[in-house]
């Protein structure tokens, strides 16, 4: 019972991920049962467990799928963006109101503190995100956009702190003017440039 009749295993998995994202966003991790997700996806519990080993694994898989869609949207809009421009675009999104699925990271972070079924997959997920950002930094360093003296791992950690922390402080708790936020980000990203480029910019200001 790994998939719905007439539907491929990949399509069933995608259906489960979409249903899980919606149910977790609506009810939270603790308030969601595996049976709720299976019912929302139109499959049996057995079909769900054929794809995911636990509710925690499914939560992190739904989070991972949502994050990939967001990044794909940014890349598709302008695949020729520089690394610094890409960082600015992502940064501008952070303080804005998210859709319900955008807060899955909060559910996953909270649940990972008390549920090893979530903690294990979350360690993998955060590690993947950190590695991806660190590789992005190395690409920027190789292209001369970012200072080669910077630690890719430290900068990746900084970006993760901003990204995940922004989900914990939504606009209804503390809003920031978009122009002010963009101006701050621009200065932060400019400070990441190689020393000679930064000096040139200051000389022309």
Which pLDDT tens digit goes with each residue over 16-30? 999 999 999 999 999
Beta strands in the chain (DSSP E): none
Structural domain boundaries in the chain: 1-52, 54-204
pLDDT higher than 90, residue 52? yes
Q: What is the model's pLDDT at position 7?
A: 74
Burial of 64-93, coded b for 16+ CB within 10 Å and e otherwise, reads bbbbeeeeeeeeeeeeeeebbebbbebbee
pLDDT at 150 > cutoff 90: yes
Q: What percent of the chain has pLDDT over 90?
A: 78
d(CA 113, CA 12): 30
Q: Report yes or no: 147 and 195 within 8 Å, Cβ to Cβ.
A: yes
DSSP-based helix, strand, coil % in the chain, nearest 5: 75, 0, 25
Q: pLDDT of 182-199, one tens digit each?
A: 999 999 999 999 986 544
Give the pLDDT confidence score for residue 5 in this predicted structure. 61
Q: Which class would CATH give 1-52? A: mainly alpha
Higher pLDDT, 4 or 102: 102
At 203 the pLDDT is 47
The pLDDT score that the predictor gives to residue 95 is 93
Q: Report the mean per-residue pLDDT for the chain.
A: 90
Check for a shared fold between 1-52 and 54-204. no
Of 2-6, 9-13, 64-68, 99-103, the one with minimum mean pLDDT is 2-6
Domain 54-204 has CATH 1.10.357.10: yes
CA-to-CA dists, residue 135 to 103, 159, 165, angstroms: 25, 13, 22
Residues 6+ apart with CB under 8 A from 159: 87, 133
Q: Is the pLDDT of residue 1 over 50?
A: no
Check whether 200 has a pLDDT greater than 60.
no
């Amino acid at each position: 019972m790994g998939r719905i009749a007439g539907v491929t295993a990949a399509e069933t998995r995608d259906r489960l991920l979409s249903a899980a994202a919606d149910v977790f966003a609506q009810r939270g991790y603790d308030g969601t049962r595996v049976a709720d997700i299976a019912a929302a996806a139109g499959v049996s519990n057995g079909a769900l467990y054929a794809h995911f080993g636990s509710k925690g694994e499914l939560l992190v898989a739904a989070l991972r799928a949502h994050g990939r869609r967001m990044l794909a949207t940014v890349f598709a809009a302008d695949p020729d963006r520089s690394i610094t421009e890409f960082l600015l675009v992502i940064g501008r999104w952070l303080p804005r109101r998210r859709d319900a699925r955008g807060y899955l990271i909060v559910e996953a972070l909270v649940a990972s503190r008390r549920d090893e079924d979530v903690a294990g997959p979350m360690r993998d997920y955060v590690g993947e995100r950190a590695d991806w950002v660190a590789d992005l930094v190395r690409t920027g360093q190789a292209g001369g956009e970012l200072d080669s003296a910077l630690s890719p791992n430290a900068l990746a950690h900084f970006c993760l702190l901003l990204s995940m922390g922004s989900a914990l402080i939504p606009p209804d708790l503390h809003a920031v003017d978009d122009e002010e936020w963009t101006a701050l980000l621009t200065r932060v990203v400019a400070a990441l440039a190689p020393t000679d480029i930064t000096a040139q910019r200051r000389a022309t200001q």
